[in-house]
Amino acid sequence: MANKLQSTPRADGFRMPGEFEAHKGCWMIWPERTDNWRNGGKPAQKAFVEVAEAIAKYEEVTMCVSQTQYMAAKEMLSSNIRVVEMSNDDAWMRDVGPTFVVNDQGDVRGVDWRFNAWGGLVDGLYFPWDKDDQVAKKVCEIENIDYYSLESFVLEGGSIHSDGDGTAIVTEACLLDESRNPDLSKEEIENTLKEYLNVDKVLWLPNGIYLDETNEHVDNIVHYCAPGVLTLAWTDDETDPQYPLSKAAFDYLSNEKDAKGRTLEIHKIHIPDEVLITKEESEGVDSVDGTLPREEGDRQAASYANFYIANNAVILPLFGDEKHDNQAQETLQKIFPDRDIVGIYAREIILGGGNIHCITQQQPLG
Ligand code: KQY
């Protein structure tokens, strides 16, 4: 039985662990929205299968699938991947799933934030989003995990990173956007994070990745690899619109210390060459009023920082840019010498507006 709790993780001694800590498994959602995924979602489904199968070599994977697609997903996934039927509005488990928290006794609980499709009626990416907003609670119920539920605080899992050791990192562009919690001050938002992630310090990057449709989620520009150790999406091209955003993040992080007083070790990972939507890709997406158009030539917010850390592995998006794909793999192998670095060609995922980190949510071992 999963109970809705009235207290907070901080009051109860629970904290959000780092993604690099041990996992029980990983949760995903099957893509099928034809106004977000081209060609009826088929190419994206193949990419999601590749990601799920890669992660399943290292930890349990559960795929949540609508009733309509349930049998098709079962057919495409190996039998070691658990498939559960769950309604959804789209496929971004990082953002709609629970943020799991753990205590020192090994208990695991969930945090169920309010979800408004990355901006509600201000600049949300679809309407309605009520099914997505139910996903976190349903995951906790399936796992018999008690959960904290925030009735009005809007937040997506991709807009926070935790080092598991007292520090969280976010972007001002996303968390202070008028489409999330316009009635709260920066201090009130920070205090909510401190209470529900159980951190003592929040690092505020000004921005994320250029043209990121989530209002610049932190998980697309940086990733905690260990306490005090971060990757940062970078470009050496000073004429690229990403340059000032990454430079500002680098300067900020270089001059900050984390909650434990550490200077941060920052590993720059160069972004891939521009990923632009082709005519064929654009034509494959249903054009629906109220959702973001996918026009030929549109630049995608492609970044290697959007990787997923699994038990003993890192699942890394690749973009078919040999030079930068290789550099990203090499940098991550140095940071994670004991983990396999598994690259997956992720163009079909970035065409939907996010990447491998955005479509996964780790459940800690506790
Ligand atoms: O990047 C993410 N965390 C989600 C992106 C959502 C895009 C919807 N089109």
**So what's the pLDDT on residue 227?**
98
**So what's the pLDDT on residue 239?**
98
| 142 — pLDDT class (breaks 50, 70, 90) | very high
Give, using CA atoms, the residue closest to atom 4 of ligand 1: 354
Residue with token string 């670095």 = 341
How far is 328 from 54, CA to CA, in rounded Å? 18
| 292 — pLDDT class (breaks 50, 70, 90) | confident
Buried/exposed code over 157-194 (b: 16+ C-beta within 10 A; e: otherwise): bbbbbbbbbbbbbbbebbbbbebbbeebeeeebbebbb
Token pair, residue 95, equals: 């953002």
| Separation of CA 318 from chain center | 16
First-to-last alpha carbon distance for the chain, in angstroms, is: 18
**So what's the pLDDT on residue 293?**
86
Read off the pLDDT of each residue in 295-307 and give the average, rounded to a whole number: 98
**Ligand 1 pocket, residue 158 CB under 6 Å:** yes
| 290 — pLDDT class (breaks 50, 70, 90) | confident
Give, using CA atoms, the residue closest to atom 1 of ligand 1: 354
The pLDDT mean for the chain works out to: 98
Q: Is the pLDDT higher at 254 or at 288?
A: 254
From ligand 1's centre to the CA of 344, what distance in Å?
Answer: 18
**Ligand 1 pocket, residue 308 CB under 6 Å:** no
DSSP label at 239?
A: T
**Ligand 1 pocket, residue 216 CB under 6 Å:** no
Three-point CA angle 337, 340, 345, nearest 5°: 130
Q: Is the pLDDT higher at 288 or at 324?
A: 324
Query: Which tens digit of pLDDT belongs to each residue from 337-361?
Result: 999 999 999 999 999 999 999 999 9
pLDDT at 183 over 90: yes
Residues 214 and 353 sit within 8 Å (Cβ to Cβ): yes
Atom of ligand 1 nearest to the CA of 118: 6
Atom of ligand 1 nearest to the CA of 212: 1
From ligand 1's centre to the CA of 104, what distance in Å?
Answer: 33
Residues 135 and 110 sit within 8 Å (Cβ to Cβ): no
Token pair, residue 360, equals: 């996964």
* Candidate of 214, 220, 286, 356 to mutate for ligand 1, largest count of ligand atoms within 8 Å of Cβ: 214
Q: Which of 323, 355, 175, 161 is nearest to 258 (CA)?
A: 161
* Domain limits, the chain: 12-364
Query: Which tens digit of pLDDT belongs to each residue from 205-220?
Result: 999 999 999 999 999 9
Residues classed as catalytic: 358
**Ligand 1 pocket, residue 94 CB under 6 Å:** yes
pLDDT at 281 over 90: yes
pLDDT at 31 over 90: yes
> Does the global pTM surpass 0.75?
yes
pLDDT at 135 over 90: yes
DSSP label at 39?
A: G
pLDDT at 80 over 90: yes
Give, using CA atoms, the residue closest to atom 3 of ligand 1: 358
User: What are the Cα distances from residue 12, in Å, to 9, 109, 148, 188, 359?
Assistant: 5, 10, 11, 20, 29
Residues 117 and 132 sit within 8 Å (Cβ to Cβ): yes
pLDDT at 366 over 90: no
| Separation of CA 226 from chain center | 17
**Ligand 1 pocket, residue 335 CB under 6 Å:** no
From ligand 1's centre to the CA of 58, what distance in Å?
Answer: 25
* Candidate of 36, 48, 213 to mutate for ligand 1, largest count of ligand atoms within 8 Å of Cβ: 213
CATH T-level assignment (fold) for domain 12-364: L-arginine/glycine Amidinotransferase; Chain A (3.75.10)
DSSP label at 21?
A: S
Q: In what order do the strands lie in the sheet with 201-205?
A: 161-162, 167-171, 201-205
From ligand 1's centre to the CA of 257, what distance in Å?
Answer: 30
User: What are the Cα distances from residue 123, in Å, to 91, 179, 210, 302, 337?
Assistant: 19, 7, 16, 21, 41
